[in-house]
A = this chain, B = another copy of it.
Amino acid sequence: MPQLRREPLFPKRWVVFAPERKQRPIDYPPPPEPSHTASPFVAGKESLTPHEVFAIRPGGGPPNSPGWTVRVVPNRFPALRIEGELLPEGIGIYDQMNGIGAHEVIIETPNPDQELEDQSVEGVTDVLRAYRARIIDLIQDVRFRYILLFKNVGLLAGASLRHPHSQLIALPVVPRVVEELLATSRSHFELKERSLFADVLQAELKSRERLVYENSAFVSFCPWASRFPFETWILPKFPAAHFHALDDFHLGLLAEVLRHVLRRIRKGLQNPAYNMILQTAPFHPSRWREAIPPEVEFRWHIEILPRLAQTAGFEYGTGFYINTTFPEEAADFLRRVCVES
């Protein structure tokens, strides 16, 4: 059974202990003769995964059969388990609870060689639709306080399988990163009566020196204090706290920007490892009301973190980062990459 433990010296930090994940398969680094037949996520091998919880099957057909374009299954090596109760407990000075949550895999395509940005805008939209559907389903479970969607690409970004996929983790606690962002948004609003996200967006749209790409609804830019070279965020231009409230029209516009940005990053940086994070607002209704009034305008957003260098002792010892590339330079470089749309 996975377990959550709180660090007494850093009580906002929880660690998920998931011993079963030691057994998960790894196809990085590539075997001498790389072969994608090993992927457990291809069409026709549906029985290799746990039963699906969502799928898009344009031609219809029963669950767990081929014919899908996007398919969501529970992770076979979950960091958290859906069955059971939290049972928070103090062990002397230490805190723990059962590792209750959800850990799912969004298989973005049956084709193990088709990266997310290789898909059509409609294909990327379908992947985002799967994200949305899973959030809407899981927020009904009152044990969960937060849902994180993320994507690890490449060995240096912590991926163990190459087949294009994203992951979802539902947590029984709000992540410290999100708590901090909520607190900052709220105190900014109390001081200035303006939304922090709107202020950042306005600054970026005005200066334009860190912009990468935009359309009518979304803007992508390299943030002022980028932690990593070529770090790129995507923000909605309109107030939107919860990703899962997006309608199909806006999902399509987001897919267009996301696909475009990923294509620029892949071509410009020669296929880098990266992490992608979708940061949305906590959704538990009572918690949400307590956390932040709607006029503060928290905005969900996407962070793309290329992993061109390793984090090291400085980062772990300080919580700060050393970055060799100014975001103005990174954005200028990404803007010049030629990609067909």
A309 at the binding interface (Cβ < 8 Å): yes
Q: A19-B325, A319-B12, A325-B22 are in contact. Are A94 and B203 (CB under 8 A)?
A: yes
- Return A32 CB to nearest CB of chain B, in Å: 18
Expressed in whole angstroms, the minimum distance between the Cβ of A78 and any Cβ of chain B is: 10
Stretch at the interface among A47-55, A144-152, A260-268: A144-152
Scan residues 158-190 of chain A and give those whose CB is less than 8 A from a CB of chain B.
Answer: 158-159, 167, 169, 171, 175-178, 180-181, 184-185
In the assembly, what is the distance between CA of A322 and CA of B177, in Å? 15
Q: Is A312 an interface residue (CB 8 A)?
A: yes
Stretch of A108-116, A132-140, A212-220, A223-231 that contacts chain B: A223-231
Task: Return A232 CB to nearest CB of chain B, in Å.
Answer: 14
- A7: chain B residues at CB < 8 Å are 223-225
Chain B residue with the shortest CB-CB distance to A277 = B317
Query: B residues within 8 A CB of A8?
Result: 184, 196, 199-200, 224-225
Residues of B within 8 A of A249 (CB): none
- Going nearest first, the 10 A-B pairs with the smallest beta carbon separation are A158-B312, A150-B313, A175-B318, A158-B310, A7-B225, A176-B319, A277-B317, A275-B313, A5-B225, A177-B319
Minimum CB–CB distance from A101 to chain B (whole Å) comes to 11
Are A13 and B225 neighbours in the complex by a CB distance under 8 Å? yes
Write out the residue numbers on chain B whose beta carbons fall within 8 Å of the beta carbon of A19. Answer: 324-326, 329
